[in-house]
Structure 1
Amino acid sequence: MGTVSAGTAHKMGVVALTLVTASNMMGSGVFMLPTNLAGVGYISLWGWLFTIIGVIALALVFAKTSLITPRTGGIVAYASDAFGPFIGFQTTVCYWISAWIGNVALLVAGVGYLSYFFPELKNPSIGSVVAIVIRWGFITLASFGARVAGRAQSFTASCMLLVVLGIGVVGWFWFDPAMFTQVYNGTGKSDTSAIITAASIALWGFLGVESAVVSSGQVEKPEYTVPRATVYGLLIASVCYVGSCTVIMGLVPHEELVNSAAPFADAARYMFGKTAGNIASALSIIACFGSISGWLILQSEGPRAGAQQGLFPKFFSDVNKNDVPMKSLIFTGVLMTLVLLMTASPNLAKQFEAVILMSVFASLLPYMYALIALPIIMVARKMNRGRSFMFYTVMVVIGMIYSIFAMLGSGTDSMFWGVVMIMLTIPLYCFVAAGRNKKGVEILYLDEK
């Protein structure tokens, strides 16, 4: 995997990449998390704390690795560098699956807010068809390249911040502590289990913290731009998440919130009336669907880098005149269509939760490989001395602990299908090895006697 070259006029800078990173994290996570976390109860605040600490560790490690060894493909490339082609292949598969399933969640959230205006969209069949049509519309938009996607997302991120900060700041004047503390633990399980569940759900909101790293092939001066965009995007998301989710749980009655398909719109309606709810819902729709552009970049860059290395089929790296791997996007578009149909549910919040837990589990294996890759790379480059190495080693340990607990909290169904997915990468690698051997690439790492 080659080192990333300097950007061109068609690539993103710090501001655009920060907005893409923040928007990728917040695109649908922030708009539906109040509903999902309300089901856990206000004990979810501990889950937030646990998650933010873990995600800060992840962000710092990913940013440091991008400084040491900038690569097209980001965290996927780091796993391959540190562990070899099989782990690189396994990581690429898992990350790719996480990214396009994440796009399904964006569509579900967007349709949920559209149902505020068009209640018939709560019908699973109608809602799924609308989501599929919108999905293919954004694939068409993505064909024009990263610069167009970045501009579109800069606008939609502004809409998102207006809603989130508006509710998260002004909403405190309507905040009812009694309503917020109505349900402490609504899971029916132990407090520890509830906190771990909340941490897993909350992690969905921060999936995309590595967006700047993975999209390094699409940005200007990645060694400068990527670390800054990663940290800035995380800070923006953290403030918006905790503030807005807490406020909404103290604004909207619990029984209504746990079944809400548009919690921010409902909160605005309680604050200022129906017109405000309509405006909040409209802006939320723009933000949810707008963040799809950034996720399309994210879901195509990993397999694109893998295909260039021979780990994925060649068509994943075939690009159009705008340097967009359209064959890859079309292929994943078909897969997303199938997932939308398979997860269709009368309760959009339940459908959203099922999809995000699938995405969270699929992302955790690449995260853990990328975490461990940093100390390995630092040792290989003779950088394993001093306070910097010790600091990042501690960050790796914190990130690993968090990732393991988040994986445990993703639920038995997600864990089952996640293990199946991981096991399938083992026989699939036989085809990769055969292809590499055909090209004359060494596939055995033995000292011949």
Structure 2
Amino acid sequence: MSQTPRDRDASATEPPAESPGQAPRSQQKAHALGLTSATGLVIGSVVGTGVFTMPAVMAGAGTMSIVVLAVVAVGAMVLALLFGQLTKRLPHSDGGLYAYARYEFGDFAGYLVGWSYWISAWAGNAAIVASWVFYVDAMLDLHDPSGLVNWGIALTGLWVPAIVNLVGVQQMAWFQNITVVMKFLPLLFIGAFGWIFVNNANFGAFNATGGSLYSGIGIAAGVALFSFIGVEAAAITAKRVRNPRVNVGRASLIGTCASAVLYVLVTAAVMGLVPHGTLVNTGSPFVDAFQVMFPGTAWAGRFIAVVAVISGIGALNGWTLIVTESSRAMAQDGLFPRPFAWADRNGTAWFGIVVGALLPSLLMLWRYLSGPGLTVFTYLVNLTVMTVAIAYFFSALAQLTYLVSHRRRVEGRRLARDIVVAATGVVFSMWLTFASGYQVVYQGLVVILAGMVGYALLNARRQRLGESAEPAGSSPAEPDADPTVADRSIPAKEVA
């Protein structure tokens, strides 16, 4: 008798007797991410190139955007707690958010979450590299380069991380830790010491939009929500983390908290360093901030460009692994094309890495040949937020279902606390979708529905091979049906 997804996943999560709470020794080589590397992966995935333009966008909404950013940061930390709780319950689940939904709701929900998240991951890489190219142009002092030149730069940003990931997870973790330190320290320097030079007169109005408070919140929330995508990085790669039952939750919370503190400190400091009128009209707010701190210097612009390039390449490095692991898990369960599970002798899913870099490469070629400018970037950002919100939503629902189904032994305050965390995750995920805007939700729905065609074909293949049960109400074969095909419909006595 075939096992249900829950049965398979439950058995997969049982820790081996030789090492409680950890994977078997045969898998230790693949588990190359310790707590430090897993935390670095979270920080590197959250803090990308967006932080270098965030203060300018936030200033357009007014100083209330700092409050909005803090609220979104709290929501992101709730999600980090949620993913830690889910991974503690399913410590060796493969695919993170996809695995949570599949375990609780079955294959279709798992595929829906996995497809949505995979789209958001590689589309997010395209959005990151689109912004990254501008900083490379500034670093190399390139003025109005051609579309093909910028495409070549974009390919470098996409394929260098792909090559690092192809070499192996250990090398990827080393590269990630180095880039996190190199980008985190300069940003923290501004967030900490920049306050010495802050002028209170530079802060704009609480609501600088000239419209309603609601419209200002919408402007600030959109940027803030996109900036925190990546809190789930450790959960997605849980199979690569040592002692995931403990380290995934810790890495998620520590990485998210560190990113949140950095975001709030840096954004508020830059708003106080640069006059409001200048800040809202600049695309490089950190250059202006450094010039206030170090007046008369000519190196500020180049320095910030270098930091932004390092930050972007670090984010792309982490997201390349996330794209790969999300597709690999689905392919191993027969819910994605089999090649995405192909692995080399080091356990690296090389096909998933190549496709995960190829798709944004082609998208960037279209972007630079068609010349839509920021239109494509803005669309990719919003599409990423909308599709990842679906994965967050189902993860929160999976935990909420578990908590209220009386399968949990612990009662009292701990149960109430965990229900609050799960319910907050549900509401926060719905807000993510709402903040994306009607047009993006409509277009994102089309992308998701297109993915359902793939599920229909994959499910048909699995039923044909006997890997998935046919619907319970299937009718017996017709008289002229192929007699060599076994009738897997339920017995008549069971129907009765």
When normalised by structure 2's length, the TM-score is 0.84
Partner of 2:398: 373
Tell me how far apart the structure 1 counterparts of residues 332 and 29 of structure 2 sit (CA, whole Å): 23
- Displacement of 1:402: 1.9
Q: Determine helix, strand or coil for the equivalent of 2:151.
A: helix
| 1:147 pairs with 2:170 | yes
Q: Determine helix, strand or coil for the equivalent of 1:116.
A: helix
Q: Compared with structure 1, are the counterparts of its residues 415 and 189 closer, same or farther at alpha carbon in structure 2 (3 Å cutoff)?
A: farther
Tell me how far apart the structure 1 counterparts of residues 449 and 120 of structure 2 sit (CA, whole Å): 16
Tell me how far apart the structure 1 counterparts of residues 66 and 374 of structure 2 sit (CA, whole Å): 20
Tell me how far apart the structure 2 counterparts of residues 23 and 89 of structure 1 sit (CA, whole Å): 27
| 1:283 pairs with 2:307 | yes
Q: Compared with structure 1, are the counterparts of its residues 246 and 191 closer, same or farther at alpha carbon in structure 2 (3 Å cutoff)?
A: same
| 1:229 pairs with 2:247 | no
- Displacement of 1:393: 1.2
Partner of 2:203: 180
- Displacement of 1:182: 5.0
Q: Which has the higher Rg, Structure 1 or Structure 2? A: 2
Q: Which amino acid aligns with 2:428?
A: Y
- Displacement of 1:390: 1.6
Q: Kindly indicate whether structure 1 or structure 2 has the higher relative contact order, using CA contacts under 8 Å at least 6 residues apart.
A: 1
- Displacement of 1:445: 5.1
Q: Compared with structure 1, are the counterparts of its residues 46 and 85 closer, same or farther at alpha carbon in structure 2 (3 Å cutoff)?
A: same
Q: Which amino acid aligns with 1:18?
A: T
The answer (yes or no) to whether the contact 2:179–2:310 under 8 Å persists in 1 is yes
Range that drifts further, 241-250 or 111-120: 111-120
Tell me how far apart the structure 2 counterparts of residues 299 and 128 of structure 1 sit (CA, whole Å): 21
Q: Which amino acid aligns with 2:151?
A: S
Tell me how far apart the structure 1 counterparts of residues 306 and 436 of structure 2 sit (CA, whole Å): 31
| 1:5 pairs with 2:5 | no
Q: Compared with structure 1, are the counterparts of its residues 113 and 347 closer, same or farther at alpha carbon in structure 2 (3 Å cutoff)?
A: farther
- Displacement of 1:267: 2.0
| 1:116 pairs with 2:117 | no
Tell me how far apart the structure 1 counterparts of residues 281 and 155 of structure 2 sit (CA, whole Å): 23
- Displacement of 1:394: 1.1
Range that drifts further, 83-92 or 384-393: 384-393
Tell me how far apart the structure 2 counterparts of residues 347 and 279 of structure 1 sit (CA, whole Å): 29
Partner of 1:62: 83
The answer (yes or no) to whether the contact 1:14–1:228 under 8 Å persists in 2 is yes
| 1:101 pairs with 2:160 | no
When normalised by structure 1's length, the TM-score is 0.92
- Displacement of 1:67: 0.4
| Structure 1: tracts of 5 or more residues without a match | none
Once the two structures are superposed, the pairs formed by residues 270-309 of structure 1 within 5 Å of their partners are: 270-272=292-294, 273-309=297-333
Once the two structures are superposed, the pairs formed by residues 15-26 of structure 1 within 5 Å of their partners are: 15-26=36-47
Partner of 1:166: 189
Partner of 2:486: none
The answer (yes or no) to whether the contact 1:28–1:105 under 8 Å persists in 2 is no
Number of aligned residues: 448
Tell me how far apart the structure 1 counterparts of residues 151 and 56 of structure 2 sit (CA, whole Å): 20
Q: Which amino acid aligns with 2:221?
A: A
Q: Which amino acid aligns with 2:395?
A: A
> Alignment partner for residue 79 of structure 1, among 84, 87, 101?
101
- 1:139-178 Cα offsets, whole Å, 9 max, x none, are 1221011111110111110011112101111111222222
Q: Determine helix, strand or coil for the equivalent of 2:174.
A: helix
Q: Compared with structure 1, are the counterparts of its residues 121 and 189 closer, same or farther at alpha carbon in structure 2 (3 Å cutoff)?
A: farther
Tell me how far apart the structure 1 counterparts of residues 102 and 159 of structure 2 sit (CA, whole Å): 32
> Alignment partner for residue 421 of structure 2, among 395, 400, 411?
395
Tell me how far apart the structure 2 counterparts of residues 305 and 380 of structure 1 sit (CA, whole Å): 29
Partner of 2:152: 129
Q: Compared with structure 1, are the counterparts of its residues 257 and 315 closer, same or farther at alpha carbon in structure 2 (3 Å cutoff)?
A: farther
- 1:66-120 Cα offsets, whole Å, 9 max, x none, are 1011211111100111111011111101101111122122212322222323353
Percent identity, please: 29
Tell me how far apart the structure 2 counterparts of residues 122 and 261 of structure 1 sit (CA, whole Å): 15
- Displacement of 1:239: 0.4
Tell me how far apart the structure 2 counterparts of residues 215 and 323 of structure 1 sit (CA, whole Å): 13
Once the two structures are superposed, the pairs formed by residues 45-56 of structure 1 within 5 Å of their partners are: 45-56=66-77
Q: Compared with structure 1, are the counterparts of its residues 220 and 351 closer, same or farther at alpha carbon in structure 2 (3 Å cutoff)?
A: same
Q: Compared with structure 1, are the counterparts of its residues 341 and 408 closer, same or farther at alpha carbon in structure 2 (3 Å cutoff)?
A: farther
- Displacement of 1:65: 0.7
The answer (yes or no) to whether the contact 1:375–1:389 under 8 Å persists in 2 is no
| Structure 2: tracts of 5 or more residues without a match | 1-8, 14-21, 474-489
> Alignment partner for residue 290 of structure 2, among 251, 268, 275?
268
Q: Which amino acid aligns with 1:172?
A: W
- Displacement of 1:369: 0.2
The answer (yes or no) to whether the contact 1:75–1:370 under 8 Å persists in 2 is yes
Q: Which amino acid aligns with 2:39?
A: T
| 1:337 pairs with 2:361 | yes
Q: Which amino acid aligns with 1:303?
A: S
Q: Which amino acid aligns with 1:435?
A: R
Partner of 1:88: 110
